[in-house]
Amino acid sequence: MTLLDDDNEPRRQVGALPFRLGRDGKPKILLVTSRESRRWVIPKGWPMKGRKPFQAAAREAYEEAGLRGAVGKRPIGHYLYQKRLKNLDAVLCQVKVFPLKVRKQLKHFPEEHQRELRWFTPAEAAEAVSEPGLAAIIRAACRT
């Protein structure tokens, strides 16, 4: 069963696409595992009262992966996915994705014991995620 908001719209989320240049000068993408299904995803979550969407995306990147950096104020895209709720229902979510140029990766952060983190090449990251829309955003963002 898919649950939509009362107005038949997907629920809105914000996410960060964390990237940095590797020693070889080529971009790397950081993915985290989701807590429940352990799929590779980007840091994301619900909008936060009192924070602009890009600020909330940066906060999620800190909480889920210990990342600090410069977040873009404009989304680079959005994608849809089915979020599995604790009661086993699913809800359709639309995630607005903001680029995050990582300056620092902290050793300790709020969800450090709940997730795995890994840096991928853009091609590997696009293959690792299950959502075709997110894979397309990763490919498009990393074209040179």
Please write the tens of the pLDDT for every residue from 83-96: 877 777 888 999 99
Q: Of 9, 25, 19, nearest to 125 (Cα)?
A: 19
Residue 1 predicted with pLDDT over 70: no
At 46 the pLDDT is 95
Q: Residue 128 corresponds to which tokens in the numbers above?
A: 């690792």
The residue range of the domain holding 59 is: 2-141
What pTM, to 2 d.p., does this model score?
0.91
Report CA torsion sign: 68, 74, 80, 83: positive
> Across residues 3-27, what is the average pLDDT?
84
> Across residues 46-50, what is the average pLDDT?
96
At 141 the pLDDT is 87
Domain of 123, CATH number, reads: 3.90.79.10
- How many structural domains are present in the chain? 1
Task: Quote the CA–CA distance of 32 and 99 in Å, as a whole number.
Answer: 15
At 71 the pLDDT is 98
Answer with the residue of higher pLDDT: 37 or 4: 37
At 35 the pLDDT is 86
At 7 the pLDDT is 57
Residue 26 predicted with pLDDT over 50: yes
**Beta carbons of 92 and 11 less than 8 angstroms apart:** yes
